[in-house]
Structure 1
Amino acid sequence: MKIRKGFITATGINYSGTLPKIRKNPNQLQPIYEAVTNALEALKLLKDKYNIEIKGEVIIKLILSKNLFSKEDDTYNFNEIVIEDNGLGFEDSEFERFIALNDCGKGFSNKGSGRIQFLHFFDKTVFKSVFRDSSSPTGYRQKEFTLSKSKPYLDKNSIINLKEDEEIKSNKSYTVLSLKNPLSEKDESFLKSLTTNEIKENIISHYLAYFCENRNQLPEFTIQQIVDNELKENIKIVSDDIPTPDNQKDIDIYYCKMSIEDKSIQKTDNKEMLNLKSFKISKNKLQKNGLKLTSKGEIAKEIKLESLLSDDFIEDNRYLFLLSGEYIDKCDTDTRGDLNIPTKEEFKKNYTETLFNEEVILLDEIQEKANRVIENLYDEIKTKRDNKLDDIQKLKSMFLLSDETLNSIKIGLNDSDDKILEKVYQADAKLVANKDAIMKQHIQQIENLNPAEEDYEENLRVQVDELVKTMPLQNKAALTHYVARRKLVLELFDKILKKQLEIQKTNKRNIDEKLLHNLIFQQSSDNPEKSDLWLINEDFIYFRGKSEGQLNQIEIDSKKIFKQDFTKEEEEYLHSLGENRKIKKPDVLLFPAEGKCIIIEFKNPDVNVGVHLNQINRYASLIRNFSEEGLQIDTFYGYLIGEGITAREVKSFDGDFKASYQFDYLFRPSKTIPGENRSDGSLYTEVIKYTTLLDRAILRNKLFIEKLTK
């Protein structure tokens, strides 16, 4: 059917409404890719239709013009990009497909809407195509047409204007495509700064799989820069630019059939042979790892590569795997990429007893067998994968990560620990959000129950049961993070005691006491809630308090506990014997309730704790006698913590200390704190080893950790 010249008006489609729904590709090179894809397809069609063996040619011309600043800064104005090929050309059948917006029949992964990218990027796309025509006296005809979404076109519900369709003298077919007048200033700026080398590198990268498969029969690719009609640069893509396979393996894939007895899929003795080619390519040239089926030398379908995520790389290389074979070629359909190779699920779904003898190759079998072979092709992939699995197991143990969450996320070989944890916590957050929504639904359903209905009790029981099932799942993620942090603190505590931290090995001074103090309650902090005082007692994190604060500066509810005005006699005592007792710094002071104070002192693990038994007594005495009248603290609890502790040594300093019935610590039930012009106070004291604290804390957290790691 001969198509008349002029605007080609669409029927059954409104371009003004349809074009905006097809998104503009964010890749500014996409129009060039679309043109090159069309050129490769035209070359293939010419060979298939006329059985002509010619040297295919694809020429990309970047056409620029000089401006006032070209000499100074080597910049130019953009004129157009031209892509030429010596393929089939726009014969009538091809042109009819082209004008059908949603046609999917061209193949080469063309879904019919690629031409819309020309419209989104450029005001005018001009085609001049010469093609064979047996009805023409000359044997050739020429079509010239323009693609545009400008107002004159859309007013006629058209995007194509056929300007010429005439007989012409020629000895070959070809197509010249010109991309003119970028619609976006950003795109124009990009195009005028584009270089021939950048075009070459991107073309190779974009079509790398095709080039690898066809390296010995590539079209002649030429890329030119033309400035004011003068050829400035002329470079080519040659076979040496294309990587060669590292490995080739033949793989046997067995046919499968459905068992008529139990409807299971069983392998038969029949098989097909596929060839696997593997390429190790610089990550700068290969953007994604991939495992792809090829048909007749072209990429037909991508299947799952299990050893690597698409973005993984090893020593700056990525990996491409291409599967080919006569069987894949036979399974190709008119729509490129739509192979007639079913999955197990599709085979089961479409199975009927009339087909019980049918044998097929399943996509799942190809994917599974190929991945098993790939695992053994590169030692570095296997080593990297094994190391990553070890890292994941360590993170799982350290942070109590669940198998359910780990199995739900994709972890790359190059993912750092923090990236893995980020993915885990994001997955947990989605799970918690989902459970929150379910909980809300159950609560709303409970609110809507009517006690007057006969089945009220049964409905209530059902809703409560469902709510109870949901709540533990909803809270597990938060609890896991909480307990995992405690587990890390316990491990760090143990390492400090065993002097395994790098800072302990390299520092000339003994800083063990400082490390332990800061681990439990950061020095100078006044926020026990953010401390790890739970290592001593779970309740301590809920009290008000201060770590290493001067006695005369410590506050409760914004009020200083120490008096600000002292009698002459008090001043003399506070500064006697060369001391300034006002600025003494207890390691930790906590205030659990009115009239009560907890005093904690840390000692270096190498120190004999017995010689420091009176230190807490002195702090208690100062607070009892010099605190503000309104505070009147009279009940004290002291914790002297170190490692150099023996029962005999402690008792030799103070015979009132007794050994505990459980764990390795000593306690003194009560010690009088004399009051000066005030009633006496009392002090309960424990002398505890750091290792005892660790054992206590491990036991307290053991149940949570065991529950979460089951």
Structure 2
Amino acid sequence: MTLDIRGSLKNTKISSDGYVVLEELISNSIDAFLIRQHADPQSRSLTVSVEVDFTSTGLLGDGTDISITCTDNGCGFGDDQADAFVTKDTSYKDDLSIAGIGKCRGSGRIQYFHHFERVGVRSTFRTDDGAVTRTLLPDAGRRKIDVADFGISDGDERAIGTSIRLEAMREATRAKLYKAESLADVFSAANMRRNMLIAFLQRLVSLTAQLGEFVIAFETRNSKGGIESSSLTASDLPEVTVVRSTEVVERDARSGDPLGSTETFTLSHYRLDAQTYDLPRNAISFCARSSPVEDITRRYLKTVAEQNRPVEGFHHIVLIEADLLDRRVNEQRDGFDGIPEEMPVYDLFTDATIAYSDVYDRIDPIIAEMVTPSGWSKDDVIRDVADRFGVIQAMLTDTDTRVIYGDSAKSVAERVLKKYQERIVADTAEIFDLRAEIETAEPHTADFRHKINELSWKYTSSLKTFDMANLSQLVVRRAAIVEILKLACGWGLAVQAIDDGQRRKDEQIIHSIFFPMRKDSHETSDHDIWLLSEEYQYYDYIASDKPLSQIEWDDGGKLFDPAIDEELAATLRRRSQDHAAKRPDIAIFGKEGAAIIIEFKAPGVPMDEHIGDLSRYAHLLAAKSNGRLKKFYGYLVGDTLDPLGMIGWKKFASGRSYFHTSDLQDPDTGRMLGELYAETLLYEDIVNRASKRIGVYREKLQIDFSKKS
């Protein structure tokens, strides 16, 4: 058997874990000790020594190189162990019936070669004839390793164990993994001890009885003779704070349907007093074989400060384990293969039955109970989601969406609406499938009635999904429009902040909020005329600052005489040259013979000086519509009104607005043309009315938009 070093480096990726070499060395030492104890049970404890040597390099001694030596008191490199060492895809450990042994594929040692130019081994083991020592000298030119490359010599029974030495770190590896920090910091004795406590905590705790009063010693020596030492011992291990398990449902990869089986995920939470445990960070990780593989801390602690500092005076380590993770861990042990982000997966070759999203749905609320910084309120986020996006508590419950620390209103709304979108697509697909089946059914059979019933129930169940998403979007959109109108009326929009001397466009801005200028309802259906009245939303035709002569009636003919625009201009010209080309800001027409005239006045312009405009418009529209329009509703909208100018108008019981009703008579013949109901409306009244109208929707949806302290 031969280990092809170059081929293995090409086919096995380098791990993204900067401590992977230490983890592999110590993990193999633990395995070797368990094998020794199984073969020769005695009252001994695990001892591992990790020595890191820094040496100066370069002509001026301004460079640094590093070597690592790991020595243990395990079983040593006997024949079986030596064969496994030179076999990349080995099943050696898989066949050992020893509790606590880490299963492997023999790829861990490939990380040694990814990180270092030279790998050496010195190991003493017991045979029937006594102790024997195997030695593999470090050699940078070695391309393959065979069992025959090991030297054999007599050994000392007292030296049973293995020492592996790694020399000359590769420049490419140093640039990729350690560019942001110095090797002296990464591999200081203190940092190695802190990080290995996190990496091996779960495994060491579970093997307390087998490892005895173990000691894992760390020593760093620099080129000037300085030595730093630290150690991790059995007495350093904390007790687990809490262990929780949850079941994740397995699903069909292509349909997403449940398969009737589950995978168990176990979460072990260690809550460590920061004054006792000097750890570099909090750690929440998916594990494989009791060791962290994929760090997911940032999902739950969003900022770097929260990740690296104690939370409420404690460091938190949460380790998530499952048989699925053991099976799916990748070769370089920094992630998992074959676990998709979402289900279903449209891949004919996948064998996945669980997605990360399924796992997170189950573990998120558990971790939220374990690790949540103070000052965060789930209720505040839920209220913000309702305020900003109209996603109410009932929708969170309906979609089984949980809010966890670090969630924003946007992220929660996106999750909810995505689930509704997926549900709507699935429901629609099922409806079409049922339709296809109905088309082939025979009406006189019982199956036909069954399909009809099934289709009706499917439609009924879908209505809730469609309506809840659409109605919520409508409420939030309208709430936003009301807020924009409120700001515009108070000159609070950024576009209204203009330099002195520039012409203000406040009337144009407010006009466009109600209905886009110079368009009609044939050109756009996206408007907000509901601000004035909900029923106007459904009138047959709306024109905004458009020529009235172009408006067509239901029979294809023109609603007004062709000369109406000229006469309107002439009418207004007689009043003021400034209004020569003016038309009603918005005119709304219904086929039952009603017209709504809306005239906006910019903030600060007195409305009482323009109350005659509505009457003039109504008279002209009535006269030129050839008897089609008889009922007129006029609205003069602004923010300034002098009550002394409103003689003959009546004041509303609430607010400062006025209304007036009058007949429209031809001034020459006295013939009755129609009737005008007119109102002066303050912008603040419109805002209040619209807010109350939205309030009805909120009540139906059980939305609370109020700000609570």
Band of TM-score, shorter chain: 0.5 to 0.7
1:322-378 Cα distance to aligned partner (Å, 9 max, x none):
699xxxxxxxxxx99xxxxxxxxxxxxxxxxxxxxxxxxxxxxxx99x989968xxx
1:660-705 CA-partner distances (Å, limit 9, x unpaired): 99x99735365358799xx989755344455664565456555543
- Report what 1:362 is aligned to: none
1:190 counterpart = 2:188 = no
Find the counterpart in structure 1 of residue 597 from structure 2. 599
Residues 424 and 462 in structure 2, CA contact (< 8 A), matched pair in contact too: no
Separation of aligned partners in 2, 1:564 and 1:145: 105
In 2, Cα distance between the equivalents of 1:519 and 1:701? 20
- Corresponding residue for residue 453 of structure 1: 445
1:38 match: secondary structure: helix
Q: Partner letter of residue 652 of structure 1?
A: I
The separation in 2 between residues aligned to 1:403 and 1:577, in whole angstroms, is 57
Shift of 1:141: 1.5
Calculate percent identity across the aligned residue pairs: 17
What is the deviation of 1:643?
Answer: 6.9
Matched, 1:85 2:70: yes
- Code of the residue aligned with 1:612 in structure 2: it is H
Query: Would the alpha carbon gap of residues 465 and 26 (structure 1) be closer, same or farther in structure 2, given more than 3 Å must change?
Result: same
Displacement after TM superposition at 1:707 (Å) = 3.5
In the TM superposition, what are the counterparts of 1:17-416 in structure 2 within 5 Å?
A: 24=13, 27=16, 29=18, 31-32=20-21, 34-38=23-27, 41=30, 56-59=48-51, 83-87=68-72, 88=74, 89-92=76-79, 94-95=81-82, 99=87, 101-102=90-91, 103-104=93-94, 110-113=102-105, 115=107, 118=110, 122=114, 127-135=119-127, 139-144=131-136, 163-164=149-150, 166-168=152-154, 172=159, 173-176=161-164, 178=166, 190=176, 195-197=182-184, 199-200=186-187, 207-210=196-199, 218-222=216-220, 238=230, 277-279=272-274, 285-286=280-281, 288-289=283-284, 309=300, 311=302, 317=309, 319=311, 320-321=315-316, 381=372, 383-385=374-376, 387-396=377-386, 399-403=389-393, 405-406=395-396, 408-416=400-408
State the 1:164 CA deviation.
Answer: 1.9
**In the alignment, structure 1 residue 425 sits paired with structure 2 residue 417:** yes
Aligned to 2:127, what secondary structure does the other structure show? coil
**Distance in 2 (alpha carbons) for counterparts of 1:283 and 1:496:** 56
> For 1:612, what is the secondary structure of its paired residue?
helix
Whether contact under 8 Å (1:127, 1:176) holds in the other structure is yes
Contact 2:216 2:231 in 1 (8 A): yes
SS for the counterpart of 1:460 is helix
What is the distance in 1 between the residues matched to 2:70 and 2:695? 72
TM-score normalized by the length of structure 2: 0.58
In the alignment, the residues of structure 1 paired with residue 442 and residue 56 of structure 2 have an alpha-carbon distance, to the nearest angstrom, of: 79
Q: Distance in 2 between matches of 1:573 and 1:253?
A: 84
Structure 1: distance between partners of 2:382 and 2:305: 18
Of 305-314 and 439-448, the range deviating more from structure 2: 305-314
Partner of 1:613: 611
User: Alpha-carbon deviation of 1:474?
Assistant: 3.7
| Structure 2 equivalent of residue 12 of structure 1 | none
Question: Per-residue deviation at 1:62?
Answer: 8.6
After superposing the two structures, state which structure 1 stretch, 477-486 or 200-209, moved more. 200-209
Conserved in 2, the CA contact under 8 Å of 1:493 and 1:694? Answer: yes
Cα distance per residue 1:98-126 (max 9 Å; x no partner): 55635456887844147268279849987
Superposed displacement of residue 466, structure 1: 2.9
Q: 1:622, 1:117 → 2: CA distance?
A: 93
Sort the Cα spacing of 1:637 and 1:707 in 2 relative to 1 into closer, same or farther, 3 A: closer
> Could you tell me how far apart the structure 1 residues matched to 2:275 and 2:423 are?
38
Map of 1:517 onto structure 2: 510
Measure the CA separation in 2 of the matches of 1:412 and 1:92: 53
CA drift at 1:449:
2.4
Q: Deviation string for 1:307-334 (max 9, x for gaps)? A: 993556776635533699xxxxxxxxxx
Secondary structure at the counterpart of residue 207 of structure 1:
helix
Q: Is the 8 A contact 1:638 1:686 kept in 2?
A: yes
Cα 1:660–1:402 change in 2 (3 A) is closer
Which amino acid in 2 is paired with 1:430? E
Q: C-alpha separation between the residues in 2 aligned to 1:596 and 1:223?
A: 94
Q: What amino acid does structure 1 have at the position aligned with 2:699?
A: E
TM-score when normalising by structure 1: 0.58
Q: Distance in 1 between matches of 2:106 and 2:666?
A: 89
Q: Which whole-Å CA distance do the structure 2 matches of 1:66 and 1:674 have between them?
A: 107
Say if 1:620 and 1:636, in contact at 8 Å, map to a contact too: yes
Q: 2:14 touches 2:114 (CA, 8 Å); kept in 1? A: no
- Return the letter of the residue paired with 1:383: S
What is the one-letter code of the residue matched to 1:638? Answer: G
Shift of 1:55: 7.0
Aligned with 2:527 (options 520, 531, 553): 531
Q: Which runs of 5 or more residues in structure 1 are unaligned?
A: 1-5, 10-15, 154-158, 225-230, 255-273, 325-334, 337-366, 376-380
Shift in Å, 1:448:
3.5
The residue aligned with 2:266 is none
| Residues 649 and 307 (structure 1), Cα distance of their counterparts in 2 relative to 1, 3 Å cut | farther
What residue is the counterpart of 1:579 in the other structure? 577
Q: Distance in 1 between matches of 2:437 and 2:275?
A: 58
Distance 1:599 1:34, change over 3 A: same
Relative to structure 1, the CA distance from residue 457 to residue 373 in structure 2 (aligned partners, 3 Å threshold; closer, same or farther) is: closer
SS in 2 for 1:139: strand
What is the Cα deviation at residue 86 of structure 1?
0.9
Q: Following TM superposition, by how much is the alpha carbon of 1:140 offset from its aligned partner in structure 2, in angstroms? A: 3.6
Instruction: Work out the CA distance in 2 between the residues paired with 1:249 and 1:284.
Output: 16
Partner of residue 668, structure 1: 661
Matched residue count: 582
Structure 2 residue 5 is matched with structure 1 residue 7:
no
Deviation at 1:577, TM superposition (A): 7.1
Are residues 1:481 and 2:469 paired?
A: no
Partners of 1:96 and 1:444 lie apart in 2 by 63
Distance 2:591 2:646 in 1: 31
- Contact kept, 8 Å, 2:285 with 2:292, in 1: the verdict is no
CA 1:565–1:438 in 2, change beyond 3 Å: closer, same or farther?
closer
Q: Note the 1:535-550 alignment, pairs <5 A.
A: 535-538=531-534, 540=536
Cα shift at 1:395: 2.7
Amino acid corresponding to residue 612 of structure 2 in structure 1: N
Q: Distance in 2 between matches of 1:321 and 1:292?
A: 15
Ranges in structure 2 where 5+ consecutive residues have no aligned partner: 205-212, 245-268, 320-325, 328-362, 553-557, 704-709
1:85 positional shift: 0.4
Asked if the contact 1:637/1:683 (under 8 Å) is kept, the reply is yes
1:537-572 CA distances to partner (integer Å, 9 max, x unpaired)? 33545777676x6x7899989x9x9999999x9998
1:471 aligns with 2:458: no
**How far apart, in 1, do the equivalents of 2:278 and 2:598 lie?**
57
Contact 1:31 1:121 in 2 (8 A): no
Letter in 2 for 1:532: D
Report SS of the residue matched to 2:661: strand
- C-alpha distance in structure 2 between counterparts of 1:91 and 1:693, whole Å: 89
* CA shift in 2, pair 1:456/1:371, >3 Å: closer
Aligned to 2:678: 685
Aligned residue for 1:389, secondary structure, equals helix
Contact 1:545 1:591 in 2 (8 A): yes
For each residue in 1:481-514, what CA deviation from the matched residue of structure 2 results, as whole angstroms up to 9, or x when unmatched? 22233345457768999x89899xx9999x9986
How far apart, CA to CA, are the structure 2 residues paired with 1:251 and 1:541?
61
User: Aligned partners of 2:633 and 2:447: how far apart in 1?
Assistant: 58
8 Å CA contact retained: 2:661, 2:677 = yes
Change (3 A) 1:415 1:512: farther
**Partner-residue secondary structure (3-state), 2:149:** strand
Amino acid in the other structure paired with 1:389? D
Contact 1:37–1:108 (8 Å) recurs in 2: no
2:692 is the alignment partner of 1:707: no
